[in-house]
């Protein structure tokens, strides 16, 4: 894939996406949004990739939208932002809907759309130097990149609005306490830890991960009874699937399941 602003490498069934504009703090412009969507399509369709990690080049994850490039559009800024968010939102939708675990390795500041992107990950690991800030309301804007969807679900409505209204910046440890981050890791060990987790998940039952993700994400739209009905149908389906049969057999035979074949 001939991308420059978004890089993709694949090893041990793990796709590692790197936001690659370190000279601009990995801020998101139209080209980066397009490339991110292309990479998302590739990752979601690839039979080789079974887990996906996203991180930023240099010492920042992403500071969000490239306001300088947006402002240069002048009176066309509204239509330009619709294009940027179209590609960004398609990418996030693909990441959120794919069966493969989507893991954030936040290696520095995650602001605006950068924080929204981190919130859209299934799991998030952050370096001790990372910081999280929504940043939108401070400049008179509203969130994009799924921030208004995932953030209230992660921290609750009042805390989400506090982060928006006050532009409060969270340290890595505060983000962990608020449930935005799964674990805080030293800066030098971040990628080692994340890749170890991703490689382990890549050996697991990818379709079961995807079904579980769908159950969790849809649960807030369901009643207790309708959600349990979905659980029943999916569980029965999974038990008769190739993964389910292998998992049950491995358990009964007291061996490690092999989900890669």
Question: How far is 45 from 236, CA to CA, in rounded Å?
Answer: 26
Among this protein's residues, is 89 annotated catalytic?
yes
Question: How far is 94 from 40, CA to CA, in rounded Å?
Answer: 6
Nearest CA-CA partner of 55 in 127, 154, 4:
127
Contact 92, 144 (CB under 8 A): no
Reduced to 3 states, what is the DSSP secondary structure of residue 196? helix
pLDDT of 24 over the 60 cut: yes
Which of these is catalytic: 89, 122, 187, 218? Answer: 89
Among this protein's residues, is 144 annotated catalytic?
yes
Which of these is catalytic: 38, 66, 122, 144? Answer: 144
Nearest CA-CA partner of 69 in 37, 21, 137, 130:
21
Average pLDDT score over residue span 6-35: 97
Instruction: Kindly indicate the confidence band of residue 220, based on its pLDDT and cuts at 50, 70 and 90.
Output: confident
Q: For the segment 164-210, what is each residue's pLDDT rounded down to a tens digit?
A: 999 999 999 999 999 999 999 999 999 999 999 999 999 999 999 99
pLDDT of 25 over the 80 cut: yes
How high is the mean pLDDT of the chain?
96
Average pLDDT score over residue span 22-41: 97
pLDDT of 261: 77
Question: How far is 98 from 145, CA to CA, in rounded Å?
Answer: 17
Q: For the segment 60-104, what is each residue's pLDDT rounded down to a tens digit?
A: 999 999 999 999 999 999 999 999 999 999 999 999 999 999 999
Q: Where are the beta strands (DSSP E) in the chain?
A: 6-11, 14-19, 51-56, 102-106, 109-111, 123-127, 131-133, 170-171, 183-185
pLDDT of 1 over the 60 cut: no
pLDDT of 181: 98
Average pLDDT score over residue span 109-123: 98
pLDDT of 27 over the 70 cut: yes
Instruction: Kindly indicate the confidence band of residue 2, based on its pLDDT and cuts at 50, 70 and 90.
Output: low
In Å, how far are 67, 70, 79, 89, 261 from 83, measured between CA atoms?
A: 14, 11, 7, 10, 40
High-pLDDT (> 90) share of the chain, %: 97
Question: How far is 25 from 112, CA to CA, in rounded Å?
Answer: 12
Contact 61, 108 (CB under 8 A): yes
Per-position b or e across 205-228, b if 16+ CB within 10 A of its CB: bbbbbebebeeeeeeeeeeeeeee
């Amino acid at each position: 894939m001939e991308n420059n602003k978004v890089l993709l490498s694949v090893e041990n069934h793990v796709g590692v996406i790197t936001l690659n504009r370190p000279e601009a703090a990995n801020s998101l412009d139209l080209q980066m949004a397009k490339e991110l969507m292309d990479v998302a399509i590739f990752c979601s369709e690839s039979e080789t990739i079974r887990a996906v990690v996203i991180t930023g080049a240099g010492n920042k994850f992403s500071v969000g939208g490239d306001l300088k490039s947006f402002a240069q559009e002048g009176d066309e800024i509204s239509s330009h932002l619709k294009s940027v968010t179209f590609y960004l939102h398609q990418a996030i939708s693909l990441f959120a809907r794919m069966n493969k675990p989507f893991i954030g390795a936040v290696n520095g500041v995650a602001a605006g759309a950068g924080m929204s992107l981190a919130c859209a990950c299934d799991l998030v690991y952050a370096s001790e130097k990372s910081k999280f800030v929504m940043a939108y309301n401070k400049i008179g804007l509203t969130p994009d990149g799924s921030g208004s969807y995932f953030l209230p679900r992660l921290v609750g409505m009042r805390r989400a609005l506090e982060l928006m209204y006050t532009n409060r910046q969270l340290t890595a440890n505060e983000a962990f306490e608020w449930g935005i981050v799964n674990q805080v890791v030293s800066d030098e060990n971040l990628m080692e830890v994340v890749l170890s987790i991703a490689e382990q998940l890549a050996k697991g039952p990818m379709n079961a991960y995807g079904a579980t993700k769908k159950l969790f994400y849809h649960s807030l739209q369901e009643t207790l009874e309708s959600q349990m009905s979905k659980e029943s149908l999916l569980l029965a389906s999974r038990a008769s699937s190739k993964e389910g049969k292998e998992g049950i057999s491995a358990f009964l035979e007291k061996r490690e399941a092999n989900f890669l074949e």
